[in-house]
A and B are shown apart, each in its own frame.
Chain A
């Protein structure tokens, strides 16, 4: 194992959540034009998710 730690400024959980937000954004862009309801839902989820992560980080 390395003697000197390999470091990242963000915690693993934060990196996972960031990646999920990016994934949801990509899905939104890829959604069929006809799938407006699903697109709207994904946009809503992503917006809430970003706000929740931001609020939790500010609290921490």
Chain B
């Protein structure tokens, strides 16, 4: 809400009398209000609006339409297209998309490991390798500890699994 609130202030500061500064800014400032999809739907000549619409639809689990929007969003929509394909069960296609990610913020190694795991392949070494690259306070730790705990439980070491789950909860601040 704070980001949207700040954007609303920007909108007020920049708006011309009688109209908003730019329809994209208007849609962004009201992104958390009802009807956000319809505002972005009217702006599909902008790739960022197609990305926004794709993300909003994916969050509502309207996956086929989200997929179409994200495909149209080009490189901007690559990460969310991969997530949407995975959610639709198209794991091989998702793996290809994640294989092409070059956004440092998007955790491509993690996402490839997640897809391997969902296909029932061995992933413990890959997750452990990812763990070795994380800083002590990385926000990824709780997720990773959950995964490692599941691996331990599947291997029958329930005490170790409990310890890892407890550590994950602790890092989430529970």
Q: Are A56 and B14 interface neighbours, CB within 8 A?
A: no
Q: Are A2 and B28 interface neighbours, CB within 8 A?
A: no
Interface readout for B128-141 with A: 1 if CB under 8 Å, 0 if not? 00000000000110
* B4 contacts the other chain (CB 8 A): yes
Q: Which residue of B lies closest to A23 (CB)?
A: B48
* B76 contacts the other chain (CB 8 A): yes
Q: How large is the interface on A (under 10, 10 to 19, 20 to 34, 35 or more residues)?
A: 20 to 34
Q: Are B7 and A4 interface neighbours, CB within 8 A?
A: no
Interface readout for A17-59 with B: 1 if CB under 8 Å, 0 if not? 1011011100000000000000001101100110011011101
CA–CA, A16 and B3, complex, Å: 11
Q: Which residue of A lies closest to B89 (CB)?
A: A1
CA–CA, A45 and B83, complex, Å: 31
Interface residues in B20-56 by Cβ distance below 8 A to A read 21-22, 24-25, 28, 31-32, 46-49, 51-52, 55
Instruction: Determine the chain B residues whose CB is within 8 A of the CB of A53 once the complex forms.
Output: 3, 6-7
Q: Are A3 and B118 interface neighbours, CB within 8 A?
A: yes
CA–CA, A45 and B109, complex, Å: 36
Q: Counting chain A CB atoms within 10 Å of each CB, which of B3, B14, B91, B118 scores highest?
A: B3
Given the interface pairs A20-B48, A45-B10, the reply to whether A3 lies near B117 with Cβ below 8 Å is: yes
Q: Are B86 and A45 interface neighbours, CB within 8 A?
A: no
Q: Are A2 and B143 interface neighbours, CB within 8 A?
A: no
Closest 6 CB pairs of A and B: A19-B48, A4-B114, A52-B6, A23-B48, A56-B3, A6-B83
Which residues does B use to contact A, with CB under 8 Å? Answer: 2-7, 9-10, 13-14, 16, 21-22, 24-25, 28, 31-32, 46-49, 51-52, 55, 59, 73, 76, 79-80, 82-83, 86-87, 91, 94, 105-107, 110-111, 113-115, 117-118, 139-140, 143, 147
Which residues does A use to contact B, with CB under 8 Å? Answer: 1-10, 12-17, 19-20, 22-24, 41-42, 44-45, 48-49, 52-53, 55-57, 59-60
Given A6-B87, A52-B7; 12 other pairs, CB 8 A cutoff: A8-B83, A8-B105, A8-B106, A12-B59, A13-B3, A13-B4, A14-B3, A22-B76, A44-B14, A45-B25, A52-B3, A59-B2
